[in-house]
Amino acid sequence: MSAVAPVITIDGPSGSGKGTVSRLLAEKLGWHLLDSGALYRLVALAAQRRSVALEDVEGLAGLAVDLDTEFPVIDGVSRVYLEGDDVTLAIRAEECGAAASRVAALPAVREALLERQRAFRRLPGLVADGRDMGTVVFPDAPLKIFLTASISARADRRWKQLREQGVDANLDALYRDLEERDARDAQRSVSPLKAAPDAVEVDSTAMDIPAVMARILSLIADRGVQ
C-alpha cells in the first residue's frame, strides 16, 4: 500500500497571515503548497473575463470544473497562470478578492473544486491554506491550525500592505470589507469558516510572522508530523 502524504491545514479569516505562514512553512518543510483561496479567485477572474455573472451558479460551477490553471515556480517564485496568462497579481486585487468571497459561498462551486484541491496531496507532504481545509477537504490531517486575529489588526495589516504597493486605501473601508467577508464566510450553508474540533487556534493579533512560525514548528515537533 502506498504511503499517504501528511497534511498540515491552516485555516482562518482573511488577513490573519495564513497565506504567508503557509508558504514559509511549505518552504521550510520542503512540502507542496495548496493556496485554496487562489482557486476561488481564479474562478472569479475567469467569470469576469468570460462575462459570467456572479449570480450564474451553473455557469460558475462549469468554470470551476474546466479551470485551465497552473501554479509553476519560476526563479524560486510561485506564479499563478490562467489560460496561459500570468495572473499572479491580478487575482490579489481587492475587487477579485471580494468576488471570490461571493463565489466561494456557492455550494456547486465548492463541490466542483473539492477533488481538484485533494489532488494536491502528494508526498512528501502538503501545507493546505484556506477556510475549510481541516473541516472538509482534509479532515484526517494530523495537524490542523486555525490562524486568527482581530479585525482591527487584519485591516491594519492589509492597509499597510497596500500602501507599500503604492495603492491608496481607506482603513475604515478595509475594516468594513473584512467584517462583511467574515460574516459571509461564517454564515454560508456549505463549508462555513470555523475551526475544526481538533484544530489548534493560534491568535496572531499580537504576534509577528516569525513568532507564528515558531509556534507551528513547535506543534509539528510535538506531534511528530513529518
Q: Examine the pLDDT at 74 and tell me if it is beyond 80.
A: no
In this structure, are residues 64 and 43 in contact, taking their beta carbons and an 8 Å threshold? yes
Residue 1 within a domain: no
Mean per-residue pLDDT for 57-80? 87
- Under 8 Å CB-to-CB from 38, ≥6 apart: which residues? 71, 80, 91
Query: Domain for residue 43, yes or no?
Result: yes
Residue 154 lies in a domain: yes
User: Would 208 be classed as within a structural domain?
Assistant: yes
Q: Look up the pTM and report it.
A: 0.87
CA distance 165 to 59: 34
Backbone angles phi, psi at 35, to 5 degrees: -100, 90
Domain membership of residue 73 (yes or no) is yes
- Specify if 28 maps to a domain: yes
Confidence of residue 155 (pLDDT cuts 50, 70, 90): very high
pLDDT at 45 over 60: yes
Provide the number of structural domains found in the chain.
1
pLDDT value for 98: 87
CATH number, domain of 27, equals: 3.40.50.300
Domain contains 109: yes
pLDDT band at 1 (very low <50, low <70, confident <90, very high): very low
Residue 178 makes CB contacts below 8 A (sequence gap 6+) with: 13, 14, 15, 151, 154, 155, 158
Which structural domain range is residue 55 located in?
7-221
In a domain, residue 226? The reply is no
41: cell is: 479567485
Which runs of consecutive H residues, i.e. helices, occur in 84-223? 94-103, 107-118, 151-164, 171-187, 209-223
- CB-based contacts of 158: which residues, under 8 Å, 6+ apart? 15, 169, 174, 178
Task: Output the nine-digit C-alpha cell for 29.
Answer: 518543510
* Number of Cβ within a 10 Å radius of residue 54: 18
pLDDT at residue 2 greater than cutoff 70: no
